Amino acid sequence: MRYDLNLLPTFIALMEERNVTRAAERLGITQPALSNALTRLRTTLQDPLFIRERYGMQPTQKALELAPVIAAALASLDDVVLGQQAFDPSKAELLFTVAPNSYVEFVLMPAVVAKLREVAPNIKLRLTPFGSDLAETGVVSGSTAMVLGRIVDPPDNLVVQHMMEDGLACVVRADHPQVKESLTRQQYEQMRHVNMLPPGRLRAGLFQALDRQGLRRDVAVSVTHFLAIPELIAVTDYCSTLPKLICRFLARDKRLKVLPSPVDLGTFPVEMAWHVRYRHDPAHRWLRTLIAEVAREVAAG
């Protein structure tokens, strides 16, 4: 029996996108052309494969069984073809759209940009907001190269890589009248606080850590960017609980003082996620490796 190998990318696109419009855009074809390819797939494989439901196309049991086999076959072909394509970052002229959350933008992106300037001067980055939902970043459709931050409930078509862990510390003004070399639990609960409000579900992290320790906090001001915090702390008797790597930067400001939190608030992950279609792309793989290496270096201090 002869098979049309051109149909296999259509199957994978539908499996990963679960949406006809996005799958067609990904393949660079019209929706009628994709529908025609799906009809031929169904005939060849003798199964409906995908059932249209309210929230997209749901694969049948046979499609679920075939998916890893077809994906592995295409991945092997990609390795053969892309492996012949040498990628030279020093000569490459590319633009990557990356969606870092505000923490990553502050902590990691300056070091990433510096590294790119050194080893790949013609590769450019366009930073787009992380937003409150992964779909809004463009990473789910693949129009954005990757997202960087804390990845919550990723869909099946994203690959997630852990990069590093960070913890939490406290910042007060250097000449705070009540706080000297350490911060007690009682002091922490009696002080007023400046709170950082990242977008969407990410705001739950610190609140959950405080709840686990039964630590109360009287929030006086909530802000949307880390850059607002040092100025607020410098002119008040307030406290702010922040990632330790953010605190490392703020410790350079002589108006501020960084102290351990009064109780152990644990750590949080910093992750990178990208669309599965970029798994074997040489340029994308190179950038992922560079960012992961920079993250390890920054975390090590």
User: How many CB atoms are closer than 10 A to CB 19?
Assistant: 18
**Bridge partners, 40 (sequence order):** none
Position 180 scores a pLDDT of 85
Residue pLDDT tens, the chain, 301 long: 566 778 888 898 888 888 888 888 888 899 999 899 999 999 988 999 999 887 678 899 999 888 888 877 777 776 666 555 668 999 999 999 999 999 999 999 999 999 999 999 999 999 998 877 787 788 887 889 999 998 988 888 889 999 999 999 999 999 999 898 899 999 999 999 999 886 544 456 777 888 888 889 999 999 988 889 999 999 999 999 999 999 999 999 999 999 999 999 999 999 999 988 888 889 999 999 999 999 999 999 8
Position 17 scores a pLDDT of 83
CATH number belonging to domain 168-266: 3.40.190.10
Position 202 scores a pLDDT of 46
84, burial (CB in 10 Å: exposed 0-12, middle 13-18, buried 19+) = exposed
Q: 55 to each of 146, 203, 220, how far by Cα in Å?
A: 24, 27, 41
Q: Quote the CA–CA distance of 99 and 41 in Å, as a whole number.
A: 35
Q: Quote the CA–CA distance of 26 and 96 in Å, as a whole number.
A: 17
At the topology level, CATH places domain 94-158+269-300 in: D-Maltodextrin-Binding Protein; domain 2 (3.40.190)
**Pairing state between β 146-149 and 94-100:** parallel
- Kindly state the tokens that stand for 243: 């990632």
- Asked whether 275 and 157 are in contact (CB, 8 A), the reply is yes
- Asked whether 103 and 199 are in contact (CB, 8 A), the reply is no
- Asked whether 40 and 10 are in contact (CB, 8 A), the reply is no
Q: Quote the CA–CA distance of 200 and 93 in Å, as a whole number.
A: 34
CATH 1.10.10.10 in the chain is located at: 7-82
Position 85 scores a pLDDT of 60
37, burial (CB in 10 Å: exposed 0-12, middle 13-18, buried 19+) = buried
Domain 7-82 has CATH 1.10.10.10: yes
User: What pTM, to 2 d.p., does this model score?
Assistant: 0.73
> What is the chain's Cα-based Rg?
24
Q: Quote the CA–CA distance of 174 and 125 in Å, as a whole number.
A: 37
- Helices then strands, each counted (H, E), the chain: 12, 12
Nearest to 78, CA basis, from 220, 224, 278: 278
CATH 3.40.190.10 in the chain is located at: 94-158+269-300, 168-266
DSSP run (H or E) holding 250: helix 244-250
- For the four alpha carbons of 252, 256, 261 and 265, in that order, the dihedral sign comes to negative
Q: Quote the CA–CA distance of 73 and 298 in Å, as a whole number.
A: 38
Position 211 scores a pLDDT of 84
User: 50: phi > 0 → left, psi -120 to 50 → alpha, else beta; which?
Assistant: beta
**Pairing state between β 240-243 and 158-166:** unpaired
Query: What does the H/E/C string look like for 32-78?
Result: HHHHHHHHHHHHHHCCCCEEEECCEEEECHHHHHHHHHHHHHHHHHH
Between CA 245 and CA 254, with CA 251 as vertex, the angle to 5 degrees is 165
End-to-end CA distance of the chain: 59
Position 70 scores a pLDDT of 85
